[in-house]
Each structure stands twice: as structure tokens, then as C-alpha cells.
Amino acid sequence: MMLLTMLAALVVFTMLAFFRATVTSWVLAIMVIVPVLAIQARLSETILQVVYLSLFAVIVVFGVPFLRRTIVSAAALKLFRKVMPPISATEQEAINAGTVWWDGDLFSGHPDWDKLLAYPVCALSVEEQSFLDNEVEQLCAMLDDWDITHKRADLPPEVWQFLKDKGFFGMIIPKKYGGLAFSAQAHSAVVSKVASRSGTAAVTVMVPNSLGPAELLLHYGSEQQKEKYLHRLARGQEVPCFALTGPFAGSDAGAIPDYGVVCKGEFAGESDVPGIRLNWEKRYITLAPNATLIGLAFKLYDPDRLLGGAVKRGITLALIPADTPGVQIGRRHFPLNSGFLNGPTQGRDVFIPLDYLIGGEEHIGQGWRMLMECLAAGRSISLPASSAGGMKLAARSSGAYCRVRKQFNMPIGQFEGVEEPLARIGAHTYMVDAARKLTALAIDMGEKPSVISAIIKYHATERGRIVINDAMDVHGGKGISLGPDNYLGRLYQQTPISITVEGANILTRALMIFGQGAVRSHPYVLKEIAAAGEIDHDTALHLFDDALFGHVGFVMSNAARSFVFGLSGGRGIPVPKGVVCRSYYQQLTRFSTAFALSADVAMAVLGGTLKRREKISGRLADVLSLLYLGSATMKRFADDGRPSEDLPLVHWAMQDALYQIQQAFVGMIQNFPNPLVRGVLSGLIFPTGKNLLPPSDQLGHEVASLLMQPGTARDRLTAGIYLPVVHDSLSPPLSRVTGEGANESLRYAPVYDEQDALGALEAALASTLLCEHLQDRLRVARKAGRLKALEELLRIAEARDIGIITAEQALQLERDYALRRKVIMVDDFTSEELQAHRR
């Protein structure tokens, strides 16, 4: 009989899992199970009738809208208004900013994979690709990061001029204003490629195209302001910056003390000009030291009500020429030895006319909303692109170095201890670049994905930090010795900058991803909040009733789905036809459902206190983030044509993400303050236990091997970075000098600039693999006692002289030795050389 009861319950749960549940459907489901329970418990007919009458009463109350609103919804609305945490004006504007995109699907518990895979494949136009292959390639060839960071602490004048002349500062500006009008995908690709060469140059390029005067003018500026400034910004005649952060207002930007007072003053030789007198103190402002045009956020006051309306007018934005009397710029911060221009700006009694306000008087007090909407687009591109560029550089160089560098007569990359970080480097790079492309695609589709922009900013920079740390570890002394031949050191030093800016990562994870997403991306919460804010009681009650009971059905359905999907381990969940890696789609759907349930339970049980329980919300943010990164990974693999060579990267990235999702749920459940809720969530989400495992050692070996071997998978993984190739044609066949037995895939290779550190490394990798069979021949001869020389170059000559190798092969081995030595050696200086740049 117990088995019959369990079977009946399972059937009911399965039905509820695949159909949207409501209170009525749950009661009906219970009524199906009651007879079985009654037989088992030997209940009397009277008790059974009472149970059925009670259940019928519930159906009547919840099934008749008028009764439900009067008895249930009215009381619930009153309670909701009482427990709902206060939302500040800046928080409300942040919630309202941007759009909901794929994050809405993930919050729904029903991600539509067909929709995701039907989104366009990420691609550049002919014009954009040409710019990347020519102007960006030329720029990267001009960049010497050691000279920039160690000697100049700035870009050379010729690079600044090149950036202005070629339109790098006008990528987002429409062509009618003289800009390039590039897509977000192209913007991202440009920043990513430049970042693989120089972080200083990447920041200098991305800031004018991110949150700043151009972006704000495009969306909110008057036509007169656009005509005045956009042409000049596109041509580089104006160097822009945007000043938001100050000493006493960092992450809490709504608390900025900088202010402006509406008044009349003298301007351009005229008196009694209506305007604003400003005072500000800002810091950490990129490009401020040489800016000609300053975007400024401040709080506006109108004590004499010259504009009419309230005295406190809220956060407002203005564009101020840097030569305006009272403006102070020029001094610099020095962020972790980076050469990009960043510094403070102050203003004392700076008078500006009202037409300096972005968008004019009608946009007074709307500054925070304007910033949040533009931040969603800018944050989706700039930092993810620069992080991806650095990660690709780390992946390509680490794989090559670990194959070229040998210890104990074997490549260091073949040691299991080194394979482990190499696997992380490869898989994290694959996943972050997938998310970079997908997020840029969203922007090109017209979205302003505020929640997703927080996800990609956080995870691109955090995983970038993991990758560069791992790359430094496997490079050892090569990585820590700064100089012209060090391609990782400055990247390592500057990584914390990206962690800190545009929303510090601790804040982003703990408050923004889940805190904003729980309201903005949830299918019902924002509707409930809006209903609670309605003044008219009847309107509020009807809206709240619809949202509340849609929400209740949503929770019930997700509870049933979580349990059934947990029992099956995700098996049986429908996935798109013809896809590879079906189980990953199924597990993502399973955890999307569990996330939707957990989010609702956390909000319902913890209420307003959830806002301060940042460890709980942080773990929920991790789940949502990993669901998005996993979605991006599957989209990328599909868009690339599902190449089998990439499967080790896909498997490692997905298995790691799913395991981390499982562990985030475990941490959230174990630390939930209510023991009853802990038990319920654990039973619904993990009814058969925690069964997912991290990637295996064998899978890590496959990823590491992929990084150390030239091929299409390695090229796809690192596509878009700058490689110092001497010319575009391929070198002549190398088989004439290497003989039979050479690696067939390397008989043709690009000609790299061997004076460049990265070019020498690529050339050394190809040479190492091509000469491997010759090195084996020398090793056998030495072991047999035929070669007596103690030094490698002397052994090569000895082997040539006694006929073990030919003269041409000896030349190839000598070149191989020179390349390997150049790659392994590190820079050194005299004391005078180092001191010369510290004075």
C-alpha cells in the first residue's frame, strides 16, 4: 500500500511538473491521492467527507475570483506592503533601467533553447572585419607595452594621433556625425584584440566608446548638442571623460555630495544668464588628465525655484568643456603601473549655462536613470572584451610555453600538476569568450540587459583573474621578471583594476546580480511591486491578485518540476532536435527550475532581510550567472558548427559550471536560517543526493594537450588576438630540412616576427614540434655513447659531423635552440637603467 501511495504521488507530481500548477490543481491532485491515503490509514467515511469538504471549500475560495480577491488577496496585499523592504529612488531607477532578455528565461524555470539557438550567429560586417584586419592590426604593431608602461606611463604621441585619425574614439557614433557606426560585436572585437597587446591602449580605446559623453548624447542629447559635439568626438578633436565617482561616493553613487545650484551669472560676456554654479570633487576618472570635455554627475538644487517645482531636483548630468573657469584637471593617479590616463578632477564655483545639461532642462533629475541605462550597454562590452583578450593571450602563450619549456627531459605541460591550471585556462577562456559574444549580440538586437551586463562583467573579470594567476604559475620566473619580453606581467598587475571598476565585484555579486535580477527578471515580482504602489485600492487589488496567484502557480509548478527533475537527474527533459551534449541542456533546465523555486522561497521566507543576507543572495547570484555562462557556451558550440575538436573545452567548461551550480545550491541550503525550509529545498532539489562531479583528470589532460598543440581548436579558442606575423603568406615547405618523420600538421606555418616575444614563442612552438624527431635521434645517440659533447650546440655539430643528421637538419636544430633560449630567457637591466625611470 505504501508503494501505491508513492506511485500515486509521483504521478501527480509529474503531471504538475509538465503543466502550469495552480492552487486549484494542487488541491485536485491531493484529492486524487486522498482515497489511497484513506485506505492505508483506514480513515472512517465521516473523516473522509470532512477532508473532501475542506478541500472543496479551498477550491471555491481560490477558484472564484471575487472571493479570492476579497478573502485572500486583500489580506496578502496589506501584508506585502508591510514587509516589502523600502526601495530608494536610485534603487528603483536601477531596477527599471535596461531590459530583460535571456535572464528572463532562466528566471522562468523554462528556458526556451530553440529560441536561444535561433538567435543570429555572431559575425562582423565586411567593413568591420576590414577595420579589425587593417587599422587594428596596424595599431597593435605600433604598441610596445614596456615602453608605454615603464618609460612613458602613457601612449606615444603617434599612437594617440593614430587613434584619433582612424576613428577609434568614434566606434559607437553614427556615420552622419562622422563616426564608424560599428556594431557591439565589432566594438567588442576591437577592444579584445587591442587588449591582447596593451591594456593601456585597450582602456584608452574603450572609455570614449563606453559610458561617457558620446553614449549619453546619442540617447539623451538634444540635436543641437549632438551636432556640436559628436563630430568632434568622432574625429578625436574632443577627448572625453565622465566624472561620477568621488572620495565619499563610490559604489553608493547615489550619495554623491557634488552639487549644483540654479542661479544667474555671467557667461561669455553676458550677465544674468540662467545657469548652474557647480562644485565637485571626483577621483578615478579615466582620461580626465588630458580630457577636453567632461561629463559630470551632480545633485541639482533650485533654492529660489527659478525653474519652478521642487528645491531638490535630483541627480543631473552636464557636459563641461575642460577650459571652463574653475575646472581643475591634469594630475594623475597611478593604477598598478598601468599607463592609461586616470586622475582626479575638481570644480570650484564653476558656472555653466543651462544648455550644458545633457538633454536640456527636460532631463533634470533623470541622471541616475540615464546612467543606469547606458551602463547596461557599456558594461556589457568594454570589460568583458578586455578580459577576454587578456585570457586568450594567456591561453595561447601558456600552452606554447608549457610545450617549449622542458624540465626532467619532458615538456612541463605534460606534468599533471601543470595540466590542471592549463585546463582551467583553456575552459574558462572558452566560456568567457562565448558569453562575451552572446552579450554583445544582445546589444546588437536592441537589448539593454542590465542583469546580464552585471553577470558578464563579474565573471569575465573574475575568471580573467583565475586565468592570469594560473598563467603566471605555469610561466614561473618567466612571468614575474618584467621587461620587454614579458607578455604577462602587466596583465597580471592590472587585473585588479577591472575587478574594481564599473561596479566592484563584491557588490556586483552580492547585491546587483540577484538583487536586481530577482525583481527585474522575475516574471511576477515587479508586477506585484507595481500593484502594491497603486494608489487606487480596486486597481491595486485586481493587479495584485493577478500577479500573486500567477506567482503562486509558478512556485507550485517549479516545486513539482524540481522534484521530478531531481529524481530523474534531468533525464527526459525535452531539448532541441539534433543537438549534441543533450545532458547539458537538460541539467541547465533542471537547475533553472530549481533556481526559480529557490529564489521565490528565499524572497518569501526572508523578505526584506534578504537584502542584507549577501551570502545567500551571492550564492543565488552564482547559480543565475552560471546558468547564463552555460547557455552561452552551448550557443557558441552550436554556432561554431559543433566541431568535435572543441569538445574537451565544452565538456570541461560545462561540467565545471554544473558542479559549481550544485555546490552553490548546497551552500545556500546549508546556510538558510530556517531549518524547515532547508529540509524542503534539499528534498525538492536533490531528492537522490548530490550526484554531479567536477571535470575528470583525463578531461583536463585533453584540454591541456589542445593548448599545447597547434590546430584548429587552439586557433578558434584564441581567435581575434594580435599575433606578430611578418606577412600574410605562408612559409615554404619545411620538410626539406626536417626530413621524414616531421609533424605533418606543421610543414607549413605562418612567419612570425621572432624579435617580438609572442612571435618568438609561436615560432619556438612550431620549431619544437618540427624538430622533435631530430631531438629524439640525438637523445638516442647520446645514450648509446656516440655523442660526447656536453653543450647542446656542440652536440648538434658533433651529430652533423658523424652523419647522424644532415647539415640542413643541423641548421634547423641550431635555430630551434636559439628560439627556445630566447623564449626561456628573461630581461635583465643595469641598476642605472632601472633607476633612470624612477626619478
Where in the sequence numbering do the catalytic residues fall? 502
> Who contacts 702 (Cβ-Cβ below 8 Å, separation ≥6)?
648
Q: Among residues 522, 643, 626, which one has the least CA distance to residue 584?
A: 626
Sort 745 into a burial class: Cβ within 10 Å, 0-12 / 13-18 / 19+. Answer: middle
Q: Among residues 160, 68, 649, which one has the least CA distance to residue 391?
A: 649
d(CA 431, CA 755): 32
d(CA 633, CA 433): 9
Cell of 747: 610543414
Q: Among residues 127, 212, 120, which one has the least CA distance to residue 442?
A: 120
Cell of 158: 603617434
For the chain, give me the number of helices (H) and strands (E)? 37, 11
Q: Which helix (H) or strand (E) holds 617?
A: helix 614-639
Per DSSP bridges, beta strands 342-353 and 270-286 are antiparallel
- SS3 of residue 395 by DSSP: helix
Cell of 583: 545532458
The length of the chain is: 839
Residue keyed to cell 473522509: 48
Give the single-character DSSP code of 311. S
Give the single-character DSSP code of 709. S
Q: How many CA atoms lie within 13 A of 104 on its CB side?
A: 15
- Alpha carbon 163 to its chain centroid, in Å, reads 26
Q: Is the torsion defined by CA of 256, 262, 268, 269 positive or negative?
A: negative
Phi and psi at residue 224, to the nearest 5°: -65, -40
- Alpha carbon 591 to its chain centroid, in Å, reads 20
- SS3 of residue 385 by DSSP: helix
Fill in the amino acid letter for 205.
Answer: V
352: left (phi over 0), alpha (psi -120 to 50) or beta: beta
Cell of 138: 596596424
Cell of 829: 637591466
d(CA 160, CA 49): 85
**Angle at CA 389, nearest 5°, toward 337 and 636?**
155
Give the single-character DSSP code of 290. G
d(CA 568, CA 481): 53
> Who contacts 199 (Cβ-Cβ below 8 Å, separation ≥6)?
145, 338, 340, 386, 390, 490, 491, 494
What is the number of other CB atoms lying within 10 angstroms of the CB of residue 370?
22
Q: Among residues 730, 723, 581, which one has the least CA distance to residue 646?
A: 581
d(CA 123, CA 109): 30
Q: What is the 3-state secondary structure (H, E, C) of 17-83?
A: HHCCCCHHHHHHHHHHHHHHHHHHHCCCHHHHHHHHHHHHHHHHHHHCHHHHHHHHHHHHHHHHHHH
Q: State the DSSP string of 144-206.
A: -HHIIIIIISS--HHHHHHHHHTTGGGTTS-GGGT-----HHHHHHHHHHHHTT-HHHHHHHH
- SS3 of residue 533 by DSSP: coil
